[in-house]
Structures are given as C-alpha cells and as structure tokens.
Amino acid sequence: MAKMKGLAMLDFDTIGWVEKEIPKAGPTDAICKPLAISPCTSDVHTVWEKALGARHDLILGHEASAEVVEVGALVKDFKVGDKVIIPAITPDWEAVESQAGYSQHSKGMLNGWKFSNTKDGTFAEYFHVNQADGNMAHLPDGISVEDAAMLSDMVPTGFHGANNAEVEYGDTVVVIGIGPVGLMAVAGSVLRGAGRVFGVGSRTTCREAAKYYGATDLINYRDGDIVEQITEAMNGKPVDKVILAGGGLETFDQAVRLVKPGGIVSNINYLGTGDYIKIPRVEWGLGMGHIRIIGGLMPGGRKNMEYLSRMLLHGRLDVSPLLTHKYNRLEDLEEALLLMKDKPKDLIKPIVSIA
Ligand code: NAD
Ligand code: ZN
C-alpha cells in the first residue's frame, strides 16, 4: 500500500509526523491532495488543552483547498484534477439532524466535525472527504488557493456567529475576541447591516484588521473591565448582540451584563477548559430577561462554500488581510501550528500553500 506523511497529534501535548496508508475513496467519497492548508486554534485546544480527550496519531487540520485525486463511483459532480474547497465540517447529509437544520450534529453532537476530531485531517499529503458531492465545492477561477482555505472555517464560523446573533440593520454588536474567527464575525455583522460594532482585543494587528473589517469602536480588555468600558461608550445603554470568539468562560458573564432584554449572546468560541459557565442571575432578568444564549459549530457543506465564494469573487469580502504568515512546504505546517499556539503579536493566521 502506498504511504503518505501527515502532521498528527501523537498524544496530549505532543505533535509529530506520522506515516500512514493513503486513504481510499468509498463510493460517495473523494481523496484530495491539499493546495493550501491552515492550522486552526481548534487544533491547539485539541492538542494542548486536552479538550476533546485522548487522540493517538490522529492527523490534525481541517482547513484546506485541494485537488481531487480519486473519486468514488457514485460521485457525480467532481472528477480527478478538479480544484476544490473543502469545509472544515463535513456532515452526513442523510441524517435526521441534518434534515432538521443541524448538519453539524449529524448522527450526534458535533459529529459533522470529522477532520482532526474523529478521522484524519487535512495536514497530510492526501486526505479523505466523505460525501464528496455534498461536502466539496468547485474552486472558482479568480479565488486563490490561499483565500479559498479561509472559506473552510474562518469565514463560515465568523458568519455563523453573526447569523446566530440574528444581527439586524443598525444593531450594536460587541465581538469579544478578534482573532481570525472574531474578525470574520465583525465582517459578517457589518455585511448583515450592523450600525455600531465594538471589537474587543488587545493585539495591534488584530485591532487594525477589526477596523478594516468595519469595527467602529475598539476596546482593549487589558485596559480594565470591558463591561464598564463598553457601557460608558454606550452612555449607560445595553447593546443588542454579543458574539463570543475569544477569551474564557468569563465572557458569558460579561456578555449577559452587556446585552439588552431580548438580546442575543452568540458563542462560536471552542471552550477548551472549565466545567460550568456562570450566568449572572440579576442581569439575566432574574431568569426572565429574554436574553438568549446560543453556541454553535458552523454547519459546513457545499452550499456554504459556494455561496461564500461569491462574496469573495464579487468583492464583498477580502480575506487576504487575515493571512499574515505564509509558508510553502508541507513540512512548514509544524511551525505554522506552533505559531497558532503561541500567537505572536503580528499573527492573525498562517497559511501553507503547496500548490
Ligand atoms: P484566536 O486565539 O486567534 O483569537 C482569539 C483572541 O481572543 C486572541 O487574540 C486572544 O488573545 C483574545 N482574547 C483572549 N482573552 C480575551 C478576552 N478576555 N477578551 C477578548 N479577547 C480575548 O482564535 P481564532 O482562531 O480566532 O478562534 C476563535 C475561537 O473559535 C477558538 O476557540 C476556536 O477554537 C474557535 N473555533 C470555533 C469554530 C466553530 O465552528 N464554532 C470553528 C473554528 C474555530
Ligand atoms: Zn477550526
């Protein structure tokens, strides 16, 4: 059997290169060769925060654009040589959860998230895509392989945060955490018509990017209580929506204190540590404040990739400012992932293109 190499979680706190058999496509599947790959903060939670539990020799990564090298006999819309975008979340589309609108939970909680969770991910010479017709999109001419990789996870996750927050024209939205996901939540909120957007973050590179994506106000959590800072800027008034894309469990408390009766707190952060989330009773309207709290994994799937591609193609969104660190060999993935873990000041997102 032909072999390939990939960057894997060997055990808790340990990554390394492994050699595995090249996967084979089942009847509805595809095998792809990455063109551009990017590590995600979720890989960091998984390896170094032990957030998903034990994983041994599991190839990491779930963001990629790629070239198809094999398709199963029942795949209709893709052939060998096609360039494609693959979403991080690849649901089982026949599942009742998918039919109910929760594809990310197809056949069980978070089970649409397969790459780097329940099966080998994209940090390899080849990777397997289940249900290729439902989980891949053609990469349109005019979108670079690097930008396309940002459609796998960063854009749909940030936008999912704005969608779940039900951002409306004129809304005041607070985005807590302005790494790449939070930045796409800022961009998504602006595209949905937000009036005023607070970006909460400390790193200059991210703050500048937040401004670029339409944040009207920047708050630094290192300058003191963000609830006080934002409430002061709002002249004592609450905000409409809060999107959580960084920080720890304390951000739920902050969000409930900030949001109006009937407002929405939308979490897209992967909560890697801690057991319980505290909700402040009084600010939650003694349990009667109609403040909704929702947390969501992004839905994945082909339609998402096709529609988001249009946003890039027609100039509604430019993801290139996210890509601060560029590499061009598969081997560089290790350094790129460690960058994502260590978060140097000038980093938003690293990309490894091997096209
Ligand atoms: P990131 O670490 O680059 O960005 C988060 C930022 O929040 C960091 O810059 C950090 O310094 C900052 N921060 C820390 N404490 C803070 C605080 N108290 N207030 C405000 N900001 C604070 O991460 P990212 O790559 O942008 O990802 C954000 C989260 O989204 C991660 O937890 C990631 O695992 C998760 N994620 C979720 C999904 C999903 O489908 N829901 C998909 C991808 C990533
Ligand atoms: Zn991710």
Q: Which domains are delineated in the chain?
A: 3-153+298-353 (3.90.180.10), 158-295 (3.40.50.720)
Non-local (6+) Cβ contacts of 142 within 8 A are 313
Closest atom of ligand 1 to 250 CA is 18
Q: 28 CA distance to ligand 1 centroid (A)?
A: 34
| 155 pocket-lining for ligand 1 (C-beta < 6 Å) | no
pLDDT digits (tens, 9 = 90+) for 13-72: 999 999 999 999 999 999 999 999 999 999 999 999 988 899 999 999 999 999 999 999
- Identify which of 48, 213, 257, 268 to mutate to test ligand 1's pocket (most ligand atoms within 8 A of the CB): 268
Closest atom of ligand 1 to 113 CA is 40
| 153 pocket-lining for ligand 1 (C-beta < 6 Å) | yes
Q: 232 CA distance to ligand 2 centroid (A)?
A: 34
- Residue bearing the CA closest to ligand 1, atom 19: 247
**Both tokens assigned to 90:** 């690849």
- The answer to whether 176 and 247 are in contact (CB under 8 A) is yes
pLDDT at 123: 98
For the CA atoms of 98, 104, 105, 111, the dihedral, rounded to the nearest 10 degrees, stands at 120
| Ligand lying nearest the CA atom of residue 117 | 2
| Ligand lying nearest the CA atom of residue 180 | 1
Length of the chain: 355
- The answer to whether 292 and 318 are in contact (CB under 8 A) is no
User: What is the rounded distance in angstroms from the CA atom of residue 178 to the CA atom of residue 195?
Assistant: 18
Q: 212 CA distance to ligand 1 centroid (A)?
A: 18
Average of per-residue pLDDT values in the chain: 97
Q: 297 CA distance to ligand 1 centroid (A)?
A: 13
- Residue bearing the CA closest to ligand 1, atom 30: 269
Q: 38 CA distance to ligand 2 centroid (A)?
A: 9
| 84 pocket-lining for ligand 1 (C-beta < 6 Å) | no
pLDDT at 35: 98
Closest atom of ligand 1 to 295 CA is 41
| 154 pocket-lining for ligand 1 (C-beta < 6 Å) | no
pLDDT over 80 at 355, yes or no: no
Phi-psi region of 122 (alpha: psi -120 to 50; beta: other; left: phi over 0): alpha
Q: 201 CA distance to ligand 2 centroid (A)?
A: 20
- The answer to whether 58 and 109 are in contact (CB under 8 A) is no
pLDDT digits (tens, 9 = 90+) for 223-273: 999 999 999 999 999 999 999 999 999 999 999 999 999 999 999 999 988
Helix/strand/coil (H, E, C) string of the chain?
CCEEEEEEEEECCEEEEEEEECCCCCCCCEEEEEEEECCCHHHHHHHHCCCCCCCCCEECCCCEEEEEEEECCCCCCCCCCCEEEECCCCCCCCCHHHHCCCHHHCCCCCCCCCECCCECCCCECCEEECCHHHHCEECCCCCCHHHHHHCCCHHHHHHHHHHHCCCCCCCEEEEECCCHHHHHHHHHHHHCCCCEEEEECCCHHHHHHHHHCCCCEEECHHHCCHHHHHHHHCCCCCEEEEEECCCCCHHHHHHHHHEEEEEEEEECCCCCCCCCCCCCCCCCHHHCCCCEEEECCCCCCHHHHHHHHHHHHCCCCCCHHHEEEEECCHHHHHHHHHHHHHCCCCCCEEEEECC
pLDDT at 1: 77
- Residue bearing the CA closest to ligand 1, atom 8: 179
At 335, the amino acid letter reads E
pLDDT at 76: 98
Count Cβ atoms below 10 Å from residue 127 Cβ, excluding itself: 28
pTM: 0.98
CB-neighbour burial class of residue 235 (10 A; exposed 0-12, middle 13-18, buried 19+): exposed
| 177 pocket-lining for ligand 1 (C-beta < 6 Å) | yes
